[in-house]
Structure 1
Amino acid sequence: MSTDQSPDHSPDRSTGTAEPAWLLVTRREVVSRITDKSFLIGTLLMVVMLVGFIGFTAWQDERTDEVTLGATPDAVAMATVVQEAAPEVDDKVQVTVVELDDAEAAETALTEDEVDAWLHPVDGGWELTSESSEQESLTSVVEAVVRQQVLAENASGAGTTVEELEAGSAVTTAFLRGDAERAAVAEAVGFVFVFLFYFAALIFGMQLASSVIEEKQSRIVEIIAAAIPLRHLLAGKVLGNTALAVIQLLIYLVVGLIGLSFTSYKSYVPALTGPTAWFIGFFLAGFIALACLWAVAGSLASRTEDLQATSTPLTMLMLAMFFGGLSLDGRSQVIASYIPPVSAVVMPKRILAGGVEWWEPLLALGLLAGFAVVTVWVGERLYRRALLQTGGRVSLRQAWSAAE
């Protein structure tokens, strides 16, 4: 008799009522993992890292970079201009000028860390010398101020003004879809979305596949199969791991949005809530499809050592999703945003950037959901037919054609 003809309900001894088998498995998956110390510690560490990164970003935004600029007598006037104009170029840079007697004194001051850099004239311009590493913030300020000052002096000598010399030279940027400022934020948040999806699908997927192999290798699955239909076992495992992944994802997203509200990017938080909600929807559909495939990868293996071989196509697919989500742009990004399962990470990035028509996410999510349904149907057949075969690694063709 087929193992899939077992009763669909198991009695709940505590209440005396029947409960769907898949719900029992789901609860077992959630409870066993959510009470596992490694899961809790891993989640906590990720939250701590996230809070630390956001805190560091906020501190960097508020921190003023205090730098000392050494100047020999032939550069004191220019250095003073740099000191006075620095706040206009970068309000996070505070320049203090230190007057030095000569080049030898300047080199000594650099060696003994009395100054961060030494400004002095050279043939054809000016040179900013540092001890062994470039002072990036100071360099940017000095380049801007010196350029403006020299232009003003040259313009005055030519009987004109800097404004007249630069008339018509301004270059601005514009996007056909969205705007440049939002695109920069979308790029950063989009990376987070792609990383979170890849991280969750890989970690939970590997754990799901490993649990399938452990049950198969220990032959516990044969006992389970005698009590409940295998499709219920698969559904419970997939739904349980999906619930755990979504819970963990929500924790990270909530912490991230709250943390972002304490940085200089807090004005973007309201605009990010909508795309974040869309990402959760795409994450859910994409994760269910991939979780089912991970279960199949586990069922095809007979030993833990076989998992690397049975999961290689799935791992390659996830890597393609990861790098595609990060690198695709333009027309290729638009096309990929409708192709499952890559659309799970690409469409949320497009939504973040703006300029997406209202029907586009709905169409992409519908296609992704359809892909998930087909994947679950195919995966369920492969899983049922491969799970109880213990004679070695099972190929996809063998699993598909095996008898019930």
Structure 2
Amino acid sequence: MSTRTAPWRLVAQREVMVKLRDKSFILGTLMSLALVAGLMGFQAWQAERHRDVTLVATPEATSMAQAVATPAEADDKLTITVTDAPDADAARAALESGDADGWLHEQNGTWTLTAYDEQDGALSSAVTEGVAQQVLAERAEAAGTTTAELTKGSEVTQTLLKGDAERAGLAQAVGFVMAILFYFSAMMFGMTLAMSVVEEKQSRIVEIIATSMPVTQLLAGKILGNFVLAVGQLALFVGVGLVGLTLTDLGSLLPSLSSGILWYVAFYLAGFVLVATLFAMAGALASRVEDVQSTSTPVTLLIMAVFFSGIFASGTIASVLSWLPPFSAVLMPMRLVTGQAQWWQALVALLLLLALTTLVLAVATRIYRRALLQTSGKLGYKEAWNAEI
């Protein structure tokens, strides 16, 4: 006894297999993975890289240079070697020849760090902090007290009324990455879906397909096939990104972000189905490949708005947009990770996104069924809605 495969499954399988045999798709995915891996590897290398720098000083500044270099000895990523120069001319010569990265000296009553043509960031930070600490220690000793007493109560601790200050920066970075992933996957798979629909329509193949299966099954299969591809690609990118983060100083924060990342995935998937449905509808409205550019413009503008909201929206605007689909696909998980939103708020926002997706799917199904077999020219939404099957 044989069982007949559901039409939508056949369509979905075909969408997946065609894409997996597409060399440009495979090459683009591999290049994107290589780029992500390279960026993460570079960040990890930068974080762990040990720097050896040379600081030259004339006799009157040697003691200060040694004081600056001593705290740096406790830093496992920076070593400052102090060399002596008999006079200012010799110090300048050391900079010009590349034998020294900086020259510490007094000028007009203030300490000055001179470099040849560009300041070394690590050396500059170490010298600035070291000189300040040494001058403070000398003045504390002259006043008969200690540095600890002088600086007592001067520390500033940064906190947030809502959220975790330590995680805020990482959350912004994660949100930025997720916004980029949502934008590029929505545009790439969405436009592919729209082009697939209009190509079948333009070649009249869809008229043959429509006689062998319901049009709604064709739409469901196309959306599901691209959904599977998007999920697979997202899993690859997120996996590489998480592995890369474990190699950086931010790896310790990953356990606290795990639930937030799961929310990102849930919102991403719901948002992708919404966008894919809109692109399928845009493809059905076109009669030629050249028409897709105009019929998909509203969808493209919507995706761009979501993308830019994830990068630039803040404060009250971000709070309000995080409830509104499809902006919630990016903004609500970001607020959740930073502690600015509770889990129940994310759940409500996700349900609203799913509700809109369901509504759009119902509308798109009607327009898709009525517009798919209309080949006389590009259709408007109202015209497609009222068209006869």
Q: Percent identity?
A: 50
1:146 and 2:131 correspond: yes
The one-character-per-residue Cα deviations of 1:111-144 (angstroms, maximum 9, x if unpaired) are: 2211112111111412211122221111111111
Counterpart of 1:265 in 2: which secondary structure?
helix
CA distance in 2, matches of 1:78, 1:45: 50
1:97-176 mapped onto 2 (5 Å cutoff): 97-176=82-161
Q: Confirm whether residue 45 of structure 1 aligns to residue 21 of structure 2.
A: no
Pairs within 5 Å for 1:5-404:
16-88=2-74, 90-354=75-339, 356-404=341-389
Q: 1:198 and 1:364 mapped to 2: Cα distance?
A: 19
Q: 1:148 to 1:274 in 2, by over 3 A?
A: same
**TM superposition shift of 1:100:** 1.9
Q: CA deviation at 1:244?
A: 0.6
Farther-moved stretch of structure 1 (256-265 vs 244-253): 256-265
State the shift of 1:242 in Å. 0.6
Distance 1:374 1:156, change over 3 A: same
- In structure 2, C-alpha distance between the alignment counterparts of 1:166 and 1:324, rounded to whole Å: 42
Structure 2 CA distance for aligned equivalents of residues 134 and 310 of structure 1: 53
CA distance in 2, matches of 1:343, 1:238: 21
The one-letter code of the counterpart of 2:60 is D
Q: Which residue of 2 aligns with 1:3?
A: none
CA-CA distance at 1:46 after TM superposition: 2.1
Amino acid at match of 1:30: V
SS in 2 for 1:131: coil
Whether the 8 Å contact between 2:44 and 2:244 is mirrored in structure 1 is: no
- Aligned pair in 2 of structure 1 residues 109, 303: CA closer, same or farther (>3 Å)? farther
Query: Partner amino acid for 1:46?
Result: S
SS at match of 1:120: strand
Give 1:158 shift. 4.1
CA distance in 2, matches of 1:102, 1:214: 78
Deviating runs (4+, > 6 A) in structure 1?
Answer: none
**Could you list the runs of 5+ residues in structure 2 that have no partner in the other structure?**
none
The alpha-carbon deviation at position 332 of structure 1 amounts to 2.6
* Aligned residue type for 2:342: E
Name the aligned partner's letter for residue 220 of structure 2: A
Equivalent position amino acid for 2:67 in 1: V
Aligned partners of 2:178 and 2:330 also within 8 Å: yes
Aligned equivalents of 1:208, 1:131: Cα separation in 2: 57
Other structure's SS at 1:19 match: coil
- Once the two structures are TM-superposed, the CA of residue 333 in structure 1 deviates from its matched residue by 2.2
Q: TM (normalized to structure 2)?
A: 0.94
Contiguous gaps of at least 5 residues in structure 1: 1-14
Q: Residue deviations 1:45-90, cap 9 Å, x none?
A: 22222222222222222211111112122321111111112245x5
Task: Give the TM-score taking structure 1 as reference length.
Answer: 0.90
Q: Please report how far the alpha carbon of residue 322 of structure 1 lies from its aligned counterpart in structure 2 after TM superposition.
A: 1.0
Letter in 1 for 2:277: C
Q: Secondary structure at the match of 1:326?
A: helix
**Alignment coverage as a number of residue pairs:** 389
- Distance in 1 between residues matched to 2:86 and 2:368, nearest whole Å: 81
